[in-house]
Structure 1
Amino acid sequence: MPDTVTAEHHLTLLDDLLKRAKALGADAADAVMVRSDSVGASWRMGKPEDLERSESTDVGLRVMIGQRQAVVATTDLNPAGFDELAERAVAMARVSPVDKYCGLADPSLYAAEVPTLDLDDHPDKDAERLIERARTAEEAALAVDGVKQSEGGGASAGRSMVALAIRGPEARFEASYSASSHSVSCSVIAEDGQGHMERDYDFSSARHFEDVGSPSEVGRQAALNAVRRVGSRKMGSGKLPVVFDPRVANGLVGHFAQAINGSAVARGTSFLKNRMGEEIFKEGIRIVDDPLRRRGLRSRPVDGEGVAVRRMNLIDDGVLQSWILDTSTALQLGLETTGHAGRGTGGPPSPGPSNLYLEAGSQTVEELIADIGEGFYVTELIGFGINYVTGDYSRGAAGFWIENGKFAHPVSEMTVAGNLKDMFLSLTPADDLAFRYGTNAPTVRIDGMTVAGA
């Protein structure tokens, strides 16, 4: 993947493309290039299963003529291909519907510098090493008593580069950065003597190789997760405390982010659309979006419109502080972009979070559940029963029954339901926050949810 010289070359290519678009009549234009290279290997039931390598380079061009815009994309980096791309984009923009909210970000908001976030360790994508890591993960899982079958171990490594260039009547901006990725995973099936089977998994991913969990530990944890679920049963219905494991608790934070996304707020389709400055969570709760987190899985030194990014408390002491906005949604709401524009090659910018997380609380998980006489600890959620207009929430679930503050036995084929407005106000976080995903949360407890056997 590109070093500094090739990154500069990519910006030169984008500058040439923008000049072509401007020469054809575009008032303003921006272009993004995404180049990626990755290798992935899998190992299943004692032998290699797949080895895949992918390489791609995509360019997206957005042109604006007055209040009309068009976006086109290509994989052809030849001069003739760029001529065609620019001609097509300008022609499309001339006949596109008027969009009074399209346009470039205010140049005063552009990043003055592109911070270094230590996202790239120039990964070794050696296929043999990846196969060995996948094999190690599966072998560690199969060595655990109770595991009967494997859906495979996997390992991958990759690198991507993003280059962005912007040209307007009074605007000029360009930036590029690269990021690496590493992962290891394993999925297995456990079975008891009565033929009851359960599947579960584990994985680890990181920007730097040294931060990825060991394949043997990932495989072993996948096996333990599956074994402890064997013998699950359905339980009755009632209003009970529900405790969400971190790997599903992050979904609640994701639902919150969706509800404060500028697109939903501007359309009036969010249950939080009129709640700015109000208490959404309990006092003391904080939800943070931090695009500048070193080695973060969703870190970015600038947003997709060249705007400077910053750490933000979206919820501070339980109170909603900000929407998630790009330039277009900010204009619709009469506000200023928050630097949350994301950008692919196939469409215009749109708002979205970066490294989003719910801050840890002060209680251990054991303390969080100690006073629960009967409750449900959720480790898996199924389906997508969320109504963002009303906040109604209903998901299929599996996990463990809690009795007298302890895990009693595994359960499955359950449903948990409530309304996100009430759930957020009742949410209490534990102290076990770990950064494993793009969106992260510690274990959380929500009292008074409806629990039912499916």
Structure 2
Amino acid sequence: MERLDLSQELARDILAMAQAKGASHGDVVMVEGDSFFVTVRLGEVEKISQAQEKRLGLRLFCGSSSASASTSDISQQAIQRLIDDTVIMARATAEDPFSGLPDASLLARDIPDRDLLDDAARSVSVDEKIAIALAAEKTAMDFDPRITNSEGADFSNQFGRVIYASSQGFSGEYQGSTFGHSVAPVASQDGAMQRDYWYSSNRKFARLDSAKSVGERAARRVLRRLGARKVKTCEVPVVFDPDMAASLLRNLSSALSGYSLYKGASFLNGQIGNKIASQVMTVWDDGTIPGALGSKPFDSEGLPITKKAVVENGELRSYLLDTYSGKKLNMASTGNASRSVGEPPGVAPTNFYLAPGPRTPGEIIASVKQGLYLTETIGFGVNLVTGDYSRGAAGIWIDNGELAFPVEEVTIAGNLKEMFQNIEMVGNDLEMRGRICAPTLKISQMTVAGD
């Protein structure tokens, strides 16, 4: 059976066939990609995989009723069957007055090059990729005799192409790549063991941190955890390292999602224009940054991607919305539609980050007489309806402005509404290491529960 090539022309043809079958409007998402993944442990390759995929997703409307479906069989017969089945499902689905595509006047007019693809890196050999994982692990294991084991190291990459077309007249596509590697060493001392990790990720292979630097960083992180102990329950400042600060921003982005908001499941419902955080907190959602992991030329409904202030000097300026959640809230989409093939759109940030402040991490730590430098959280104790926050934690105790000793088996607790208001200091160490990023930050007071 002949397999068809994915293209914008094929997407437009599918929509035309669907409308001839009775669909009023619809859209098509096509993706194709190559992926590679290898894990190593103690100098041996444990798992290795390489895959190629093509998928086609179709969403059709019959008036205000809709249905979505997908296939990996890109043949004429399979596509025709997909269209027929999706039309039948759309007709059988209950009407929803908020459903529909964006107005044609709002669709992206051009498709800017965001520098998302490292095509030259396709030539990197499998042996080179394995060597990076092995070198990161060996560097970590050789760093200190107290590092006695490893949970492993890995290397992964993906090349992908996305095509989107809608019956509103939009069609476009873009390509991208991602690369990453990590290592998780285990250290032991006096019969107690600790583990930690470090990683690097980028759209460009040459911009990855070296295996040596990742291995050394992971080794330093695990060694500083040796000898960890509890502390007595207290109310103290907590300094969030960049990864932990990014986890706070993930909570914020979830609370700003249009789907949480219209369901009444967010403590930020109805807060546009209000002060929800301290003056030092400004958060951007910017999918226009060249080469960044969350960048793209248009969202999953064909709307243009922009840079927007979500929180500006503590004031909530914008939610994260697609067309459907925007209609439910009587607001316009913010260009944050995101979707998997065969699923209706949802909401996701692009590059969502806390703007850096003027202080170095050392200055922030030095400002704390007694407190916790947070390096890990455990569990999912965040209630986005009330803002209540309680998570298992580990880190380093701060004594008279200096990192003193490692801490584990404690819980940090507060409420996100108060935590954002109590951000006193923001660091200057922002690195765009993922789609959601933040520099070091200090919250003036939280409960640290221990002995």
TM-score normalized with structure 1 length: 0.96
Does structure 1 conserve the Cα–Cα contact (< 8 Å) formed by 2:394 and 2:410?
A: yes
User: What CA distance in whole angstroms lies between the structure 2 residues aligned with 1:87 and 1:410?
Assistant: 61
Q: In the alignment, what sits opposite 1:129?
A: 128
Aligned to 1:286: 282
The aligned residue for residue 418 of structure 1 is: 414
Kept in 2: contact 1:51–1:127 (CA 8 A): no
Match of 2:184 in 1: 187
Per-residue Cα deviation, 1:67-100 (whole angstroms, up to 9, x for no partner): 1000001101000000100000000000101111
Query: How far apart, in 2, do the equivalents of 1:46 and 1:208 lie?
Result: 26
What are the superposed Cα offsets for residues 359-407 of structure 1, whole Å, 9 maximum, x if unpaired?
A: 0111111211213221011100000111111100000000101100001
**Residue in 1 that maps onto 2:65:** 68
Partner of 1:55 in structure 2?
Answer: 52
Residue deviations 1:273-331 (CA, integer Å, cap 9, x gap): 02110111112421000011111111110000001110000011210001111111111
CA contact (8 A) 2:59 2:342 kept: no
For residues 316 and 290 of structure 1, the distance between their equivalents in structure 2, rounded to whole angstroms, comes to 14
Matched letter for residue 331 of structure 2: L
Quick check: 1:107 aligned with 2:97? no
> How far does residue 430 in structure 1 lie from its aligned partner after superposition?
1.2
- Which residue is 1:77 aligned to? 74
Please name the residue that 2:387 is paired with: 391
Distance 1:370 1:410 in 2: 17
Amino acid at match of 2:295: S
* TM-fit CA distance, 1:38: 1.1
- Long gaps (5+) in structure 1: 1-5
Partners of 1:157 and 1:164 in 2: CA distance: 23
The yes-or-no answer on 1:303 pairing with 2:299 is yes
1:425 positional shift: 0.5
Select the residue among 331, 335, 350 that pairs with 2:331.
Answer: 335
1:37 to 2:37 alignment: no
Question: Which of 229, 236, 257 does residue 261 from structure 1 map onto?
Answer: 257
Q: Are 1:345 and 2:341 counterparts?
A: yes
Could you say which residue in structure 2 is the equivalent of 1:435?
A: 432
| In 2, Cα distance between equivalents of 1:68 and 1:211 | 46
Report if aligned partners of 1:153, 1:219 keep a CA contact under 8 Å in 2. no
Give 1:42 deviation, angstroms.
Answer: 2.1
Given that 2:57 and 2:70 are in contact with CA atoms closer than 8 Å, whether structure 1 keeps it comes out as: yes
Q: Are the equivalent residues in 2 in contact too, given 1:41–1:127 (CA < 8 A)?
A: no
Query: Aligned partners of 1:373 and 1:225: how far apart in 2?
Result: 23
Check conservation: 1:398, 1:411, Cα contact below 8 A. yes
Task: Identify the residue that residue 155 of structure 1 maps to in structure 2.
Answer: 155
Partner of 1:263, secondary structure, is helix
Deviations 1:241-299 (A, max 9, x none): 01111011101111111111111111121111021101111124210000111111111
Tell me if structure 2 keeps the 8 A contact 1:356–1:438.
yes
1:16: Cα distance to partner? 2.1
Structure 1 residue 48 displacement after superposition: 1.7
CA distance in 2, matches of 1:290, 1:239: 36
Post-superposition Cα deviations, 1:185-244, rounded to whole Å, max 9, x if no partner, equal 11110112x111100000000000111000111111111111110110011101110111
Identity %: 38
- Give SS of 2:136's match: helix
The residue number in structure 1 matching 2:138 is 139
Quote the offset at 1:156 in angstroms: 1.8
CA distance in 1, matches of 2:154, 2:367: 40
| Cα offset, 1:57, TM superposition | 1.1
Do the aligned residues in 2 keep the contact of 1:39 with 1:157 (CA within 8 Å)? yes
Q: Distance in 2 between matches of 1:276 and 1:183?
A: 37
Contact preservation (8 Å) 2:280, 2:426: no
| Code of the aligned partner of 2:23 | A
Please say if 1:94 is aligned against 2:81: no
How far apart are the structure 1 equivalents of 2:328 and 2:238?
A: 38
CA distance in 1, matches of 2:343, 2:19: 19
Aligned to 1:118: 115
Query: How many aligned positions are there?
Result: 444
| Shift in Å, 1:408 | 0.7
The whole-number CA distance in structure 2 between the counterparts of 1:200 and 1:231 is 14
Residue in structure 1 matching 2:203, options 207, 226, 237: 207
Alignment of 1:13 onto 2:10: yes
User: Counterparts of 1:49 and 1:176 in 2: how far apart (Å)?
Assistant: 36
Residues in 1 aligned to 2:396 and 2:46: alpha-carbon distance in whole angstroms: 33
Which residue of 217, 222, 225 maps to 2:221? 225
Please give the TM-score of this superposition, normalised by the length of structure 2.
Answer: 0.96
Deviations, residues 113-147 of structure 1 (Å, cap 9, x unaligned): 00101000113252111111111111111111121
Residue identity matched to 1:371? S
> Partner of 2:379: helix, strand, or coil?
strand
Give the secondary structure class of the aligned counterpart of 1:384: coil
CA RMSD of aligned residues (A): 1.2
